[in-house]
Amino acid sequence: MSGTPIATTRSAAGMPTGKLAVWWLIGSEIVIFGGVLASYIMHRLAHGGWSEEAAHTNTWIGALNTMVLLTSSLSAVLAHQAAEKGDGKKASKLLWATIVGAVTFMIVKAFEWTEEITHGYTIASSTFWSFYYTAAGIHASHVLAGAICMYYVAKSAAKGEHLHRVENVGLYWHFVDVVWIFLFPLLYIAK
Amino acid sequence: MSEAEHSEDAHAHDGHEHNYIRIWGILVVLLIISVVGPFIGEYTEIQAITLVTAFGIAAYKAYLVVKNFMHMTAEKAFVSYIVVTCLVFMFLLYAGTAPDVMKSEGSGWEKPLWQQQEAEYAARQAALAHGGEDGHGDDHH
Amino acid sequence: MATAPATHEEHDLGHHEQSFWEKYVFSTDHKVIAMQYMFTGMAMALIGGFFAYAFRMQLAYPGMEVPGWGLVTPNDYNQLVTNHGAIMIFWVAMPVLIAAMGNYLIPLMLGCDDMVFPKLNRLSYQIFLLSAVVLLSSFFVSGGGFGGAWTMYPPLSTKAEYSLTQLGSTIFVVAVALEFVAFLLGGINFITTAMNSRAPGMKLYDVPMVVWMIVVASILFMASVGPLIAGAIMMLFDQNLGTAFFDPDRAGDPILWQHLFWFFGHPEVYVVLLPAMGIVAEIITTFSRKKLFAYRTILYTVFGTGVLSFTVWAHHQFVAGIDPRMAHVFTVTTLLISVPIAEMLFVYIATLYGGSIEYSTPMLWALAFLVEFLIGGVTGIYLGASGGDIYMHDTYFVLAHFHYTFFPIAIIGTYAGVTYWFPKMFGRHMNEFWGKVHFWGTIIPFNGIFIPLFFLGAGGQHRRIADFTVYPELAQMQPWREFATVALLIMLAFQVIFLWNFFYSMFRGRKAEKNPWKANTLEWVAPSPPPHGNFPDGLPTVYRAPYEFSHPDHDEDYWPQNEPPAEQKA
């Protein structure tokens, strides 16, 4: 029953409405991750003993996943570039590459967690492991959500529709990448 | 949404011919440094190396992504204000919360397991120090 | 630009035959969604009010069979007060003041046809409705609803042996989290609409104050709720997965939850206060026929309040064993925040000064807001200072202070807004006589309920106790408790008048014209009630600030924002 309202097409702030909303969304996500990471950091700084538990995390797998996310960010930004040039087909393909990155990330994560859980490091083992699984879990749910959004954007971009959405979903994806850039040293490197 | 808006949006970035693959290359090199850093830190026993390569590089990587992939600096200024404001509020949360959470006891309360764990950890560290390996571990103070 | 043909198209769409479901249930129209929020909020207010009735009866007449509920056991009592608090804040104040008023007013006042994301808007209402259903479902699980206070402090909320209802407390946290998601989505929609979709010619200083305040409130909500969402996830894991984030026996920290909760909880006070302040600003300027005094000062004050509101949260925790040095800091910031709020009250009074005041029902509510909220604010000074708070904390003094802030915000502010915009919403007037009867029948008993509670609190009556008669030194104050309960019954009885007036006027009230109050803002340009698409004669253009009443260069005493200047007309 409703077409796009005129309200959506206005741009008094000088930025397309969709992109504006994504930036506000990113702001709200900063405080969600900020809450859990701030809680984690203050605990970590107060507990010298946590470094012994953190020693059981696998830096190499963490680095591999960082690599995967950085690369998927590259394909997302290349998709944005293609969409700007009006090449919906290419943008769609590059978005699919990003989705493959997201899926790879999740698969690596699945193997990593299985390994850790079978060695007895579960979410209830200690507060360090609780934070480890909670922070990475919230992040992983964002990876999943981003992949689902990209699936729909890639589908419409292939038909040359809603090309501006390629940038918007890309912005979100880069944000998810940035969160992982901080999670990686916090959970894996700091030992 | 409209074509007009999209081209207007594209126009904003025309001036910046980003070499995205180059940026990605820098990010990967930084990643390698941040993985190697702790080994050097451990070898030379200079904790600062680990901290800088871990968190300094993370901050710089985030800056690169935000600037070059998200084009935040090319956007309207209010975008930066939104992001910076949210970050500042998080530092505020940290500043107000940490003085309580980082203590193992306060007026009328204590965290027994915490104290016990830290005491055991300190004992292990002391034993290690007596064994001659001074300064190993405990990167976090 | 492209507005004219597109409006036409929208206009045509409005004439399509729509089924009941399309028009009222799954509509994406901002006005319908606003009504959905409002009626859901009203239904929840009835439930919350009923809970208040049940536990106040128990307090006044301990052990009685409360008509409609039965015996209020201590466990019942805890569930009732917990859910009364949560419902009134999250499922009444938030949906009615922010979501309903915001949805209704933002597009109309900005002169556009809808919110920028109509489908997202519908989704946020649906999530909100789901959260309400989830909350109510907690009463029907084994162990009953959650009774550990709306602040959900661990270990009461995390350990089944204390909460007595593992599933109930989990459902409670899930419901609150869903509600946050709904308002996060809604808030982003509000902010984006206000930033991008203003009418041509409308500069930032031409935006009506209530829109500014709702938008700032949405920003405060968005920036403060994150840590609590993270905290809610941690709490769910504590409840169900065996983690120990908030369990001191297992190296966790219960005070961390209090910080995460109040980092949101205190800005939340301003999240609901600001829309009420905005509604009051609109009403007092219209009914005193005077330009809003110091528009920009109010605006900067709102921003200042918003920033300061992030620095005061730990004043809720002065007795929780927090670092005493931090208590000093939070005392200072807490007392500081009374400055901008007092300033806003003074500015509103300055607007009234010298105006030709008309005591219509909305104006009475707006004036009552100023008076009652002042009492709430002033009693807060005692509690904001850590020294005073140590004596007063968790007594009925806090409870009375809290209700003297939230009752004006959530109830008086809502009644002010509903009576003011009722002609626009339904195209008919409410009955003024019964409106005034309802006003006095609400305000007088309201003071009758809560003034005794100040005395009781100062006399040492602690909160969260189902029966005070077992304490000899408190038992003698029983007449005050009965007085408060009787006042509550009178107040609740007068709400029937409002409900009757509301629903009767909706169908049978006197027809309202476009601009019955002769106000200037853009919503009064649209027909009453506005059709789908809002402005059938084309979207308006703005030529001046929103409060040009009694302007010397203009013949009439009001000058609508969209009226072209004289030289263009000539």
Query: Is there a contact between A44 and A174 (Cβ–Cβ < 8 Å)?
Result: no
State phi, psi for C132 to the nearest 5 degrees. -65, -45
At residue C462, the 3 state secondary structure works out as: strand
* Cβ separation A1–C241 shorter than 8 A: no
Here the tokens at position C491 are 């107040």
The model's pLDDT over B63-72, given as tens digits with 9 standing for 90+, comes to 999 999 999 9
Which has the closest alpha carbon to A54: A141, A135, A111, A155?
Answer: A135
Give C50: exposed, middle or buried? Use CB within 10 Å, 0-12, 13-18, 19+: middle
- Is C17 contained in some domain? no
State the Cα–Cα distance between residues C10 and C13, nearest whole angstrom. Answer: 5
Size of interface B-C (CB pairs under 8 A): 64
CB C323, CB B103: distance < 8 Å? yes
Chains in contact with B, where contact requires at least 3 CB pairs less than 8 Å apart: A, C
**pLDDT single digits (tens) C250-289:** 888 999 999 999 999 999 999 999 999 999 999 999 999 9
Chain C CB contacts of A13 under 8 Å are 195-196
Within 13 Å and on the Cβ side, how many CA atoms surround C334? 28
Residue for token pair 């039965």: C70
Q: A68 vs B7, which has greater pLDDT?
A: A68
pLDDT of B16 strictly over 50: no
Report, as ranges of residue numbers, the positions in chain A whose pLDDT lies below 50: 1-2
CA atoms within 13 A on the CB side of C547: 22
Angle between helices C101-110 and C254-287 (to 10 degrees): 50
Q: The tokens 């904790």 sit on which residue?
A: B47
Q: What is the largest CA-CA distance in chain B?
A: 73
Neighbours of B4 (CB within 10 A): 11
Q: Is C4 contained in some domain?
A: no
| pLDDT tens, position by position, C222-239 | 999 999 999 999 999 999
Number of domains in chain C: 1
Summarised one tens digit per residue, pLDDT across range C61-113 is 999 999 999 999 999 999 999 999 999 999 999 999 999 999 999 999 999 99
With contacts defined as CB-CB under 8 Å, which chain A residues touch C16? 1
The pLDDT of residue C568: 53
pLDDT at B10 over 60: no
pLDDT at C570 exceeding the cut of 70: no
> Residue B134 pLDDT more than 90?
no
Q: Smallest Cα–Cα separation from C246: which of C322, C153, C321, C323?
A: C153
Residue of chain B with shortest Cα separation from C253: B101
Q: What is d(CA C97, CA C417) in angstroms, rounded to the nearest whole number?
A: 9
CA end-to-end span of chain C, whole Å?
24
Q: List, in order, residues 6 or more apart from B9 with CB less than 8 Å away.
A: A16, A19, A84, A164, A167
Q: C533-563 as b/e, with b when 16 or more CB fall inside 10 Å? A: bbbeeebbbbbbbbbbbebeeeeeebbbbbb
Q: What's phi and psi for A54, nearest 5 deg?
A: -65, -25
d(CA A130, CA A14) in angstroms, rounded, equals 43
Of B39-43, C145-149, C213-217, the range with the highest mean pLDDT is C213-217
Q: Which residues in chain C have their CB less than 8 angstroms from residue B85's CB?
A: 223
Burial class (CB in 10 A: 0-12, 13-18, 19+), C488: buried
Confidence category of residue C548, pLDDT binned at 50, 70, 90? very high
Q: Is the pLDDT of residue B84 over 90?
A: yes
Is C83 within a domain? yes
DSSP 8-class letter at B109: E
Report the CATH number at residue C236.
Answer: 1.20.210.10
The predicted-structure confidence for A92-120, as pLDDT tens digits, reads as follows 999 999 999 999 999 999 999 999 999 99
Parent domain of A96: 17-42+59-189
- Residue A171 belongs to domain with CATH number: 1.20.120.80
What integer is the mean pLDDT of C178-191?
95
Mean pLDDT of B123-133: 79
The pair of three-digit structure tokens given for residue B39, joined into one six-digit string: 């080994």
C186 neighbors C214 (Cβ within 8 angstroms): no
Show the domain range for C136: 30-569
**Residue C342: pLDDT band with limits 50, 70, 90:** very high
Whether A8 is in a domain gets the answer no
pLDDT of C567 reads 64
Q: Taking the alpha carbons of C525, C527, C530, C536 in that order, is the dihedral positive or negative? A: negative
Q: SS3 for C244?
A: coil
**What is the phi-psi region of residue C298: left when phi exceeds 0, alpha when psi lies from -120 to 50, beta otherwise?**
alpha
Range name among B39-43, C38-42, C357-361, C548-552 with the lowest pLDDT average = B39-43
> What confidence tens digit (pLDDT) does each residue in C389-432 have?
999 999 999 999 999 999 999 999 999 999 999 999 999 999 99
State how far the Cα of A186 lies from the Cα of A178, in Å rounded to an integer.
Answer: 13
**Alpha helical stretches, state H, A85-126:** 88-118
pLDDT (average), residues C362-379? 96
DSSP string, C245-278: TT-GGGT--HHHHHHHHHHHHHHHHHHHHHHHHH
Within a domain: C249: yes
Question: Which pair of structure tokens corresponds to residue A139?
Answer: 């992040």
Chain C stretch 118-137, residues whose beta carbon is closer than 8 A to a beta carbon of chain A: 118
- What is the model's pLDDT at position B6? 44
Q: How many domains does chain A have?
A: 1
* Record: contact B117-A49, CB cut-off 8 A: yes
> Can you give the pLDDT at residue B11?
44
- Tell me which of A53 and C436 has the higher pLDDT: C436
Would you state the pLDDT for residue B1? 39
Is B83 in contact with A26 (Cβ distance < 8 A)? Answer: yes
- Indicate if the pLDDT at residue B47 is higher than 50: yes
Shortest distance between the Cα of B9 and any Cα of chain C, in A, equals: 15
So what's the pLDDT on residue C17?
A: 63
Is the Cβ pair B101, A67 closer than 8 Å?
no
Closest Cβ opposite residue B101 in set C256, C311, C324:
C256
Distance from CA of A117 to the nearest CA of B (A): 22
Hey, is the C-beta of B85 within 8 angstroms of any chain C C-beta? yes
Q: Report whether pLDDT(C507) > 60.
A: yes
